[in-house]
Amino acid sequence: MLCPSDAVFARVDKDSSNSKSHCFGDPTMYEKYWQKAGDKTTIVIPGWQSLSYFSDVRNLCWFLEPEFAKEVVRLHKVVGNAITENHHIVVGTGSTQLFQAALYALSSQDASEPISSYPSITDCVKSRLYKWAGDAKRFNKDGPYIELVTSPNNPDGSVRQSVVNRSGGILVHDLAYYWPQYTSITYPADHDLMLFTVSKSTGHAGTRIGWALVKDMEVAKKMTKYIELNTIGVSKDSQLRAAKVLKVVSDSCKPSGSEDECFFEFTNHQMSTRWKQLRMAVQKSGLFSVPELPSQFCTFLGRAFEPQPAFAWLKCEQEIEDCESFLKGNKILTRSGKHFGFSPKYVRISMLDRDENYNLFVQRLSKILS
C-alpha cells in the first residue's frame, strides 16, 4: 500500500489488525464546521451537465471551470495570503498532480542529465527529466535545479524560505498550509509558482482539487499540457463542488459580517485547543517534546498567535531511539522521522483527526510517564 508523503498521520490503534490505518491522513476535524453549515454547500448537478471535456476554450487552462477560478481569486483576496493578479490559474487533481506538472513544465527537455527535484514523486514517476538531490540545505551541485519551498513546512510547521540561492535554480512554493487556522498570514505571497489545495484549506481531501498560481504563461501552458496528457483534464463535478465550498468560506468571513461563524476563526480555535491539549500531555508525560515556534501577527485575524501546524513534530527524549516503535507499543501509530531525513527519535503526528480519536490520542500520550 502506498502512503502519500503528505497524507500520513498518527492514529490511536483501536484495532491492532488494522496496521495500515495510519496511511490515511484524513482532515476529518473539519467535519464539525461543515455539519453545522448544513446544506449551504450542497450542489445539484443535472445529468446533462459536464458532458464535455472542455470548460472554457478561451482559457489557457481549458478544463478550468470559470466558477472555481472566480472563487479561488475571491478567497485569496479575502484571506490576503496570495496575489492572484498577473498569475494564471491551473487546476489539478490535488497538489501532487500539480507538482508533477510543475516538474514537467520546468525541466529542460534537452538537459544532459536530470534536473534535481523531490523524492517520493520523482522516484514513483522515474522520469529522466528530474531526480531527487536531497536536502536543499546540503545541495551544492552546479547546473539547473528545482527547489521546493514548503512554507509552513511539513512536518515541523516552521516558516521557510529558499536556501540554495545558486544560479540555474527555479523555485516552486508549496503553500498548502499558508492558511490562518495553521499560521499567521503576514503577507500576500507573490511567487512565480505557488501551489494550494482544498484538502488543507477547507478539509475536503476527497474532492481531490488543487490549484497553482503561475506567473509565466509558457510554464502554465506546459503544466496544462501535462495534465491533459496525464488525465485529460480535471473533474468538472469536483471543481463545481470545490467552488461552492470556497464561496461558503468567503461568505462566512465577509467584513460586513455573516450569520455563520467565520470558517477560519472556527478552525483556528479548533487548532489552538488541540495544540494546548498536546502541550499539556507532553508536559505531563515528561518523555516528549515539540518545537516552540515564535508567534506572529496575523493580518487576517487581527491578532498574534503561535503557529499551530497540521502536524506535530514530536521528539522522544531520554534513551528512546525509535520513537515510532515506542509509540506503537503504546497503541499510537505514527510516521517516523527517518522518512523525512531526520532521526528516528522524531515522529510526525496529525492534528486533524476527529475529536474522538484526537482526545484518545492525547489521553494515551499523557499516560506514558518518564
Give the model confidence (pLDDT) of 321-345 as tens digits.
Answer: 999 999 999 999 999 999 988 999 9
The pLDDT value given to residue 117? 45
Which ranges of the chain have pLDDT less than 70?
A: 1-25, 108-143, 163-168, 256-259
- What number of other Cβ atoms are within 10 A of residue 331's Cβ? 15
pTM of the predicted protein model: 0.86
The pLDDT value given to residue 259? 67
The three grid cell numbers given for residue 53, joined into one nine-digit string: 471535456
The pLDDT value given to residue 169? 78
The pLDDT value given to residue 112? 47
The pLDDT value given to residue 161? 80
The pLDDT value given to residue 255? 78
The three grid cell numbers given for residue 73, joined into one nine-digit string: 481569486
> What DSSP string describes 203-253?
S-GGG--EEEEES-HHHHHHHHHHHHHHHSS--HHHHHHHHHHHHHHHHHT
At 23-75, the pLDDT tens digits run: 346 899 999 999 999 999 999 999 999 999 999 999 999 999 999 999 999 99
CATH classification of 5-34+261-367 is 2.60.40.1250, yes or no? no
Q: What contacts 332, CB < 8 A, 6 or more positions away?
A: 10, 11, 12, 13, 361, 364, 365
* CB-CB contact of 117 with 131 (8 Å): yes
The three grid cell numbers given for residue 207, joined into one nine-digit string: 474532492
Beta bridge partners of 150: 174
The pLDDT value given to residue 107? 86
User: What 3-state DSSP class applies to 336?
Assistant: strand
The pLDDT value given to residue 143? 64
CATH classification of 52-252 is 3.30.420.40, yes or no? no
Q: Where are the domains of the chain?
A: 5-34+261-367, 52-252
CATH fold match for the domains 5-34+261-367 and 52-252: no
Beta bridge partners of 115: 130
Q: Using only the alpha carbons of the chain, give its radius of gyration.
A: 21
The contacts found for 120-127 with CB under 8 angstroms, 24 or more apart, are 120/4, 120/5, 121/5, 121/96, 125/100, 127/103
Beta bridge partners of 131: 116
